[in-house]
Copies of this chain bind each other. A is one copy, B any other.
Amino acid sequence: MKKIINDPNQVVQDMVDGLIAANPDSLKQVPNTFVVARADAPVAGKVALVSGGGSGHEPAHAGYIGKGMLDAAVCGEVFTSPTPDQVLEGIKAVDSGNGVLLVIKNYTGDVLNFEMAAELAEAEGIQVEKVIVNDDVAVEDSSFTTGRRGIAGTVFVHKIAGAKADSGAKLEAVKAVANKVVTNVRSMGIALTPCTVPAAGKPSFTLEDHEMEIGMGIHGEPGIDRTSIASADEIATTLTEKVLEDFDFSGEVAVLVNGLGATPEMELYIMNKKLHEILSERGIKIYRTYVGEYMTSLEMAGCSVSLLKLDDELKELLDAESTAPAFRS
């Protein structure tokens, strides 16, 4: 295991300390938790957004904390859902009395624990709503999930619901636009290499030197096919066609070409070239393109493609101000 860490069982604590040290003016740690919040939380008069999940997907989710995006991120152990009490602490740290929206990636552990936290918070008089993101079209059920998994498309939910909350909208309206994003976003990825959870010390699976896995999840969950490594153009075609088959994207879209951790930015741009050609051929207009590492799997090599169908409301919210370190607009 080649990692720049100290104690493999302390990586989340060390990471949170380093993250706060890097952003002392904009972020704070909720004492005795792995909850990271806006330094100025709770923000008066505003619906608060809380997300999170297992660590190892950085910059998701703490990198998306800032004006116009998340109010808090709850950091679980690597690839492990945070406990309900941690999520509850996140909710309590950011609620200004205007309610809290939980943005949950669809993994069984996350859904259970965030829902339990919501019940606990409601028992304390906090209004809580939730949206569940399930953008990955690769498989219907998976080792971590009932139903489709939530992957990089989640970042669009953070951005757009965050902008809506920042505009002063009420909880129901923030939830509604978050659900509109969930309805309109689809993603799919491939992996070239596995990754190693620090406390495990070895990869959870292997891929041969010539192999890639199509539709692999962001925790290494099985995909739909294992093949020889295809060209960038073939990979872009496979992923984009599967995404386009699943939903009618005619009109205008935002594109996210996401690196899983070890893939050079060069390769993501090479993917993006073909993606633009495919969408152009189909008459789909690209409003914005995001290329980079938005939702990773530690040092996994690979990428995912997300498409979000836009309307005027979503375009305006996508372009609204964000001060989050990992999504500056």
Contact = CB atoms under 8 A, between A and B. Distances in A.
A18 B301 CA distance: 19
Interface in A120-142: none
A19 B269 contact: yes
Given A14-B270, A276-B18, A2 B265 contact: no
Contacts of A271: 4, 18
A169 interface: no
Interface in A210-239: 212, 229, 231-233, 235
A262 B261 contact: yes
Contacts of A272: 18-19, 21-22
A4 B263 contact: yes
A311 interface: no
Interface string A51-85: 00001101100010000000000000000000000
Given A2-B229, A6-B232, A18-B272, A299 B296 contact: no
Interface residues of A toward B: which range? 35 or more
Contact of A273 (B18, B268, B301, B302): B18
Nearest to A58: B265
Interface in A286-306: 289-291, 293, 296, 298-299, 301-303
25 contacts: A2-B193, A2-B209, A2-B229, A3-B192, A3-B229, A4-B192, A4-B232, A4-B271, A6-B231, A6-B232, A6-B270, A11-B266, A14-B270, A15-B269, A18-B271, A18-B276, A22-B255, A22-B269, A58-B265, A63-B265, A262-B262, A262-B301, A264-B299, A265-B293, A293-B293
